[in-house]
Amino acid sequence: MSDVKMWGTEEFWGLGFEWDPQWLLTPSQMDLQSRLMALCESTLRANAVESDADYVYPRRNFEALASLGLLSLIVPKDLGGLGENHTCAAMVVETIARYGCPSTAMCYTMHLGAVAAALLRHHDNARLTDILKRLDAEVLIGTLSYSDPETGSHFWYPISSKAEAYGEGWKVTKKASWTTSGGFADWYIVQTTSPGFAGDYSDLSCFLVMKEEVKANPSEWDGLGLRGNQSGPIQIEGAFLPKDALVGPVGDGAKSNDEVVDPFFLLCSSACWNGISLAVIDIAKRHTTRKTHNDVGMRVADYPTIQDYVGEAIMDTNACRAFDFQMAKALDEVTGNCDWSRHADLDAMPRASVLHWFWQVKFVAAKNVAHVTDKMLHACGGTGYRPALQIERYLRDGKAGWVMGPTNEVLRQFVGKAALLGFGALDYWNKSINERVLANEIKKMDDSAKRALAERLLAEIQPAKVA
Ligand SMILES: Cc1cc2nc3c(=O)[nH]c(=O)nc-3n(C[C@H](O)[C@H](O)[C@H](O)COP(=O)(O)OP(=O)(O)OC[C@H]3O[C@@H](n4cnc5c(N)ncnc54)[C@H](O)[C@@H]3O)c2cc1C
């Protein structure tokens, strides 16, 4: 394989391989990377411009990815997939975002998350196994539908959704405020409260829902960036699903979140933000080395200020990439190189043990992309501000990093709170009472306010329960 990074028949105009951690990849992963870069050059990058301008869903890009077997990247070889690992997943998403199309990279991230959720529980499930075998041949795009209109970015708290046992199967209702590929995906992994739900929101279940059951209005999708990603609201209105549309046992949702959905989303979406950061550095290199100021006879790249911008952007971005790839390697290590057969044991949760590291990975990658896209736009001046150079599009795309759940506000609080007060203090499902706050508020009350509160509380208790 050549050490020179190629772009079609020419040498690549951005950063060369000397700035990429190629030593992390196996020879076959490097081969896949180079074939994917060629596909980005011939197909994905041009479609990205159209997706952004006209809100076109990147199905054609998915067809191109399927031609390399990438829809079943992490599906085991005995099911017809490439049998690849977490490191390769991060490389593929970063490559698509950097050289091809960020919207496609995000749709592909959600696809991989859905594939991982299916793989986790496919062992005794013929329906899941069947779909996993057909992903590339039929270009079956999957996605994750979690976020709920009532709870915003707290996507682990699906208040507006429910599922109940019905005949031989299930009746499932889902309202989702955002779903990448909404209305375009062929299959959805959706999270609802469990059948038999009795008020405990940690009791969650996942279902496989095919596109025929999903209502969406893609024409209403609008957004600052990632415009091809089509992350509009969707609804599933009392769909009757067969028994094996349940992904894993009843009540498996929280385990599925911690073991696959969150780790894969955080690993791959971070790779997407890193890919966008690299994409704008590449463009800034091309522009600033080609534009000359004839009064002083200098190229823009000759100014130390511009060199400082680019140097800092490369170092910050490579710190984020190194972190993402290091954690991908950690996942490879704890899972026996992404060996799905281990999950025949429903209690095997190797990825969950390092989930809090992925909160950190996503926070820094999403923070960095906003800074780097901004600085590379500055480095390219007014030309960067105009759509033709495309930095402006990447800047809008990168803005999704901070606000996608878990949002960066939530993540930094998770990390700070868990470090200071312990993981139990995170209280995802709003169950534990903060006695300090309670005691402090009651301390502020006079006797009559306390009496009024006591009377209100007594009135709220069911009469039978009053001693
Ligand atoms: C491009 C894009 C694609 C998406 N794709 C999907 C998808 O495929 N599937 C899916 O399920 N969802 C998806 N989402 C939804 C996403 O994950 C979030 O749920 C969504 O962005 C939250 O938006 P909101 O307006 O509800 O924010 P809100 O939750 O209302 O947040 C508003 C503000 O409050 C802050 N905040 C919220 N909770 C806390 C807290 N506990 N502590 C401190 N601050 C807090 C937030 O950080 C933010 O600053 C997507 C979003 C985008 C932008």
**Whether the bond into 406 is cis, omega within 30 of 0:** yes
- Encode pLDDT of 39-75 as tens digits: 999 999 999 999 999 999 999 999 999 999 999 999 9
Nearest atom in ligand 1 to the alpha carbon of residue 405 is 17
Would you say the CB of residue 261 lies under 6 angstroms from ligand 1?
Answer: no
Nearest atom in ligand 1 to the alpha carbon of residue 147 is 11
pLDDT band for position 2 (cuts 50, 70, 90): low
Give the number of other CB atoms < 10 A from CB of residue 223. Answer: 18
Would you say the CB of residue 405 lies under 6 angstroms from ligand 1?
Answer: yes
Mean pLDDT of the chain: 96
- pLDDT value at 126 more than 70: yes
pLDDT for the residue 70: 99
Would you say the CB of residue 151 lies under 6 angstroms from ligand 1?
Answer: no
Best residue among 359, 404, 434 to mutate for probing ligand 1, ranked by most atoms within 8 Å of CB: 404
User: Averaged over 309-316, what is the pLDDT?
Assistant: 98
Measured by CA distance, the residue closest to atom 28 of ligand 1 is 152
Residue 152 CB contacts under 8 Å (≥ 6 apart), including other chains:
177, 405
What percent of the chain clears pLDDT 90, i.e. is strictly above it?
97
pTM attached to this predicted model = 0.96
- Encode pLDDT of 326-375 as tens digits: 999 999 999 999 999 999 999 999 999 999 999 999 999 999 999 999 99
Distance 411 CA to ligand 1 centre (A): 12
Distance 400 CA to ligand 1 centre (A): 10
pLDDT for the residue 467: 53
- Encode pLDDT of 406-451 as tens digits: 999 999 999 999 999 999 999 999 999 999 999 999 999 999 999 9
- pLDDT value at 466 more than 60: no
Would you say the CB of residue 117 lies under 6 angstroms from ligand 1?
Answer: no
Residue type (1 letter), 378: H
Residue 294 CB contacts under 8 Å (≥ 6 apart), including other chains:
none
pLDDT band for position 3 (cuts 50, 70, 90): confident
pLDDT for the residue 267: 98
pLDDT band for position 16 (cuts 50, 70, 90): very high
pLDDT for the residue 436: 95
Map residue 228 onto helix, strand or coil.
helix
Distance 272 CA to ligand 1 centre (A): 17
Beta strands in 167-282 (DSSP E): 169-179, 187-193, 204-210, 215-216, 232-241
- pLDDT value at 464 more than 70: no
Tokens 């596909």, residue? 39
Distance of CA 408 to the CA centre of its chain: 13
Task: Name the burial class of residue 418, with classes exposed (0-12), middle (13-18) and buried (19+) by CB atoms within 10 angstroms of its CB.
Answer: middle
pLDDT for the residue 220: 86
Would you say the CB of residue 226 lies under 6 angstroms from ligand 1?
Answer: yes
Measured by CA distance, the residue closest to atom 34 of ligand 1 is 409
User: Averaged over 235-242, what is the pLDDT?
Assistant: 98
Measured by CA distance, the residue closest to atom 52 of ligand 1 is 404
Map residue 235 onto helix, strand or coil.
strand
pLDDT for the residue 450: 97
What percent of the chain clears pLDDT 70, i.e. is strictly above it?
99
Would you say the CB of residue 180 lies under 6 angstroms from ligand 1?
Answer: yes
Distance 430 CA to ligand 1 centre (A): 18
Q: Could you please report the per-residue DSSP string of 301-361?
A: GGSHHHHHHHHHHHHHHHHHHHHHHHHHHHHHHHTTTT-GGGGGSTT--TGGGGHHHHHHH
- pLDDT value at 405 more than 80: yes
